[in-house]
Amino acid sequence: MDVKPKAQADGSQQGSRTGLPASIEAAWGLREPPRKGPKPGLTLARIVAAAVDVAATEGLACLSMKRVATELGASTMSLYRYVAAKDELLALMVDAAIGTPPPRPGAEESWRAGLSRWSWAYLAVLRRHSWALRVPITGPQVTPNLTAWIEDGLRSMRDTGLTEPEKLSVILLLSGYVRNAATLAADMGAGASASGTPAPIMPAWGRLLAQLTGPEDFPSLHAALASGVFDQDDDPEDEFSFGLERVLDGIDTLVRKRRGRDSNPRQSLNP
């Protein structure tokens, strides 16, 4: 078990200017790094990078302050001069993994294109760093890169007419959709890896449903079975795109309402 020291000899975890942990302040550039210590060259960035490597290669369950210290050839206590607890390290690891948001193509980008770009980029990040999906979400995080992603998403909606609370709710909605899609893919991928060669999921599911149910009691299900929808697995990209477009359609309805335009489901929903 990782134990947070009660006090730091050099005061590196004391005197917070913002109420945030000193390691998070350091990530924002608000705190000077420790000037002396038993391991020259040890930095917060190196600690976080080593922790990310451990999580990526061995899994999040293998991560501990001791394991990271071993990776760096340092003592466990020396890490506590830079980061006071494992939960702080996890927050910094996720921030490092997601990096900065993708560049904006220009001022001509519509809100819908911007949010679509944002969502696909976030999905790509979570696919590359699936371990980050296992980090518990215990509350809002205020790390630099994550904050930049929020800014990018909010900026995409600057001309929508949505209220500020609505814009933030849209970001939460989209991030939840993306995380759910990424988590489902990661879980299914882990199951396939454990069982060896992955087999198509939908055909086996369809055959089992056909055996267990009848058209009298499950007419809608059997209509779907008869349509061939269970005959092959869907492309994950197509599935994600379909869901994302439906979420954006709903946001578009709200945007049209805020702009004072009628929402007509028969017309194109592109802004």
Question: Residues 151-186: pLDDT tens digits?
Answer: 999 999 999 999 999 999 999 999 999 999 999 988
Residue ranges of alpha helices (H) inside the chain are 22-27, 44-58, 65-72, 76-79, 86-98, 111-128, 144-156, 164-194, 202-212, 219-227, 236-258
Q: In CATH, what number is assigned to the domain containing residue 64?
A: 1.10.10.60
Domain check: are 150 and 242 in the same one?
A: yes
Work out the mean pLDDT of the chain and round it to a whole number: 86
- Three-class DSSP category at 148: helix
The angle subtended at Cα 137 by Cα 16 and Cα 114, nearest 5°, is: 95
Domain check: are 36 and 74 in the same one?
A: yes
Domain check: are 179 and 62 in the same one?
A: no
Of 138 and 149, the structure prediction assigns the larger pLDDT to: 149
Domain check: are 47 and 150 in the same one?
A: no
pLDDT at 190 over 70: no
Q: Assess contact for 181 and 123: CB atoms under 8 A.
A: yes
Task: Domain of residue 58: give its range.
Answer: 22-98
Q: Assess contact for 148 and 100: CB atoms under 8 A.
A: yes
What pLDDT was estimated at residue 7? 36
Domain check: are 71 and 127 in the same one?
A: no
% of the chain exceeding 90 in pLDDT: 65
Q: In CATH, what number is assigned to the domain containing residue 141?
A: 1.10.357.10
pLDDT in tens, 130-143: 999 999 988 888 99
pLDDT at 3 over 70: no
What pLDDT was estimated at residue 211? 93
